[in-house]
Every structure is written in C-alpha cells, then in structure tokens.
Structure 1
Amino acid sequence: MHIQIAEHIKLARLVESDAADILKIVNLSRESLGAFFPWVEGVNNIESAKKYILDRVNSGLNGSRWFKIYYKGNLSGVFAVKSICPELNIAELGYWLSSDAQGNGIISQVIARVPSILKNTSAKIIEFRCLEQNEASIKIALKSGASLVGTIPNFVSVNNTIQQLNIYQVTL
C-alpha cells in the first residue's frame, strides 16, 4: 500500500525490513539529523535501526501511522501521524528527510495531503512540535498556516545545547 503525493513523492508503510535502508540514510545524514533529533545517536547499526522502527510502528499510540518517504524512487525519510488525541481531536505529525532530499518541498507537499490521510479519523487540528532551532521545521509549520500555541522550556539537550520545544497548530 502506498500514497502517491506527487509525481516524484510517495509514502509507503514503514516496516522492520526497512532497517538497512533507514540506517543508510541516517548515516549519510547523521550531522544534519543529529542537530535536531536526539534518537539519531542511538541509530548506529541494523539492530538499533530495527528498534527505531519497531518502537514507532508499535508505539500503541492512538491513530499512530508511520511511513517511509520516497523521492524520485529513493527512500528519503520518514513521515508520521505520531498520535491522534481523541479528546482534543489533535493529530501530532512528525517527519525527517535525508540531507540530499532536503530543500525540494517534499514535506510541504506531504503536509498538503494530510487532510486526506486523516479523513476517517477524529482529527480536526494538526500539531507540529519543533525544537526552537529547527528553522526548517518551523518554516514548514508556518507555511501550512499553523500558529505558535505554546512552548515547553528546557525540553531537550541536543549537541550540548538546551532547546525549548515549540508547539504549532493549524485547523484542518
């Protein structure tokens, strides 16, 4: 099963057998990904790549769906509906791209299709959670029409820098 986003962009379910490919793109993009994602340091062999995948696809969180992103036929990243809060009707999204796929408008095109991805759910609001220094993700959230609705101070230390987590939301 896959979801065609655009001519050169498609999503397919993320599965454990993707571990070698995930490890490869994490290794190729370790520096750029490691600046914003604390999990990158722990994905350093096939077993840890499998654990990365299984921890996500088996999270047990309501509405969770994890996809690999293909760009021009190459595995280029991950996109997720991380969870859907049924009480608040909020769908939290997550995503990352390999260094070589960044800057092609891929995530913005995926985000534009989120209403159809979420059409049979209770979600009425999309939520983006971005570290304060992740300018690319913040730009995507703002471009989607989201507004800053809150922050979590001193959320995480990445590369010895403590960052707050910015929370952005947009109504579907």
Structure 2
Amino acid sequence: MFLKIDEELTLKVLEQEDAPALFALTDGSRHYLREWLPWVDGTEQIENTKSFIQFCQNQQASNNGFQTGIWFNGEIAGCIGYHAIDWSNQKTSIGYWLGENYQGNGIMTKSCKRLVEYAFKELDLNRVEIRCGVGNLKSKAIPEKLGFRQEGHIREAEWLYDHYIDHLVYGLLRRDWTG
C-alpha cells in the first residue's frame, strides 16, 4: 500500500527492507519518544524492529488494519496506522509517532488527515478514534485540528514505565468529516 499525500510526503506499508531505517529513526529519537510511548524500551535491537514489521504485515494480511512508514523527502520520519479495524461496528483508531527531528513540519496532521479520509472513503468506516496522553500537547493538537470531538477522559489508561497516564479520547464520525 502506498498513499501519496504531496510532493514531500508519502505513507507506505512497512516492509522488512525498511527495518534499518526505522530502527535508526527510533534509536535516534529514543529519549524523545520515551516521554509518551511505552514500547520504546523494548526496541533496543534491530530484531525488535523486524518483529514489529512482521506484526504489521500479519495485521494487514488478516484485514485488521495496517501500519505505514511516513516518508518525508525520501526519509522515514515516523509511523502511522490503524490499531485494528472493528468491521462489525465500522470503526478504527489511529496511532502515530514522529521522530524528533521531523516535528513542526505539518507531517503528522497531513498523514492523519489522509488516514481519516482513507477510513471513510476507501474502507467505508463510520468512526475513527484517536487517544493520546492528556499532557501530550503535540499529539492532541492533531485530532483537534482535524475536527475530532473530545469525547472522554480515561483515568490511568496506560502504564508509562513508572507511572500511569490519563488519556483523552477523540472521535470523528463520517457524517462530520469535512475533509
């Protein structure tokens, strides 16, 4: 799967050949990513990245969503994808992260917008959710810019190394999507 967004930005399903670049990006942003992502400490070896890519390929093969690399000017800048797809209820949730050096370029807003559009137009889903840490201002700005509604606050939703963090839940329905 390949989704071109503009001249600088493309979403591409991860393949094993992407493992070295994805590992280098993760490793180079490890301290930065660790603030909000609980899986960072489990990715110290390139084999972990290869296993993640295999998981992503299995997810896509089972028609349960997909993960893409975000390619900015030919370099991998982060990842975005659907956690899973609930086909019976026509909904999904989007997860994303961006390497520290790629922040502030509008990359994630454009990428997320494209996946929302794909969910509604190509997959015929009715609902998309995004959850993020309450204090993660950069992450929560994305659904707010794209017209999602804040629908909830989940207390102690995720264990982050040595403490729990609360999550905000954002939702968007197909009928509310303006593109």
- TM-score where L is the length of structure 1: 0.90
Q: Which residue of 1 aligns with 2:31?
A: 31
Q: Which residue of 2 aligns with 1:122?
A: 124
Alpha-carbon deviation of 1:116?
4.1
- 1:77–1:96 Cα contact (<8 Å) kept: yes
Q: SS state of the match for residue 33, structure 2?
A: helix
Q: Identity percentage over the alignment?
A: 27
Q: Which residue of 2 aligns with 1:22?
A: 22
- TM-score where L is the length of structure 2: 0.87
Alpha-carbon deviation of 1:74?
0.8
Map residues 3-82 of structure 1 onto 2, 5 A cutoff: 3-59=3-59, 62-82=63-83
Q: Distance in 2 between matches of 1:165 and 1:4?
A: 31
Q: Distance in 1 between matches of 2:136 and 2:103?
A: 13
- Range moving further from structure 2, 30-39 or 61-70: 61-70
The one-character-per-residue Cα deviations of 1:7-51 (angstroms, maximum 9, x if unpaired) are 100111112232211110011111111111111110011111112
Alpha-carbon deviation of 1:115?
4.5
Report the residue type matching 2:145 in the other structure. K
Q: Which residue of 2 aligns with 1:160?
A: 162
CA RMSD of aligned residues (A): 1.8
With over 3 angstroms needed to count, the CA separation of the structure-2 counterparts of 1:57 and 1:34, relative to structure 1, is farther
- 1:36–1:158 Cα contact (<8 Å) kept: yes
Q: Distance in 2 between matches of 1:143 and 1:78?
A: 19
Q: SS state of the match for residue 85, structure 2?
A: strand
With over 3 angstroms needed to count, the CA separation of the structure-2 counterparts of 1:116 and 1:144, relative to structure 1, is closer
Q: Distance in 1 between matches of 2:144 and 2:92?
A: 16
Alpha-carbon deviation of 1:81?
1.8
Confirm whether residue 97 of structure 1 aligns to residue 84 of structure 2. no
- 1:79–1:94 Cα contact (<8 Å) kept: yes
- Segments of 5+ residues of structure 2 without an aligned counterpart are 175-179
Alpha-carbon deviation of 1:58?
2.0
Q: Distance in 2 between matches of 1:116 and 1:150?
A: 23
Q: SS state of the match for residue 38, structure 1?
A: coil
Confirm whether residue 138 of structure 1 aligns to residue 132 of structure 2. no
Aligned counterpart in structure 2 of residue 169 of structure 1, from 161, 171, 175: 171
Q: Distance in 2 between matches of 1:63 and 1:52?
A: 15
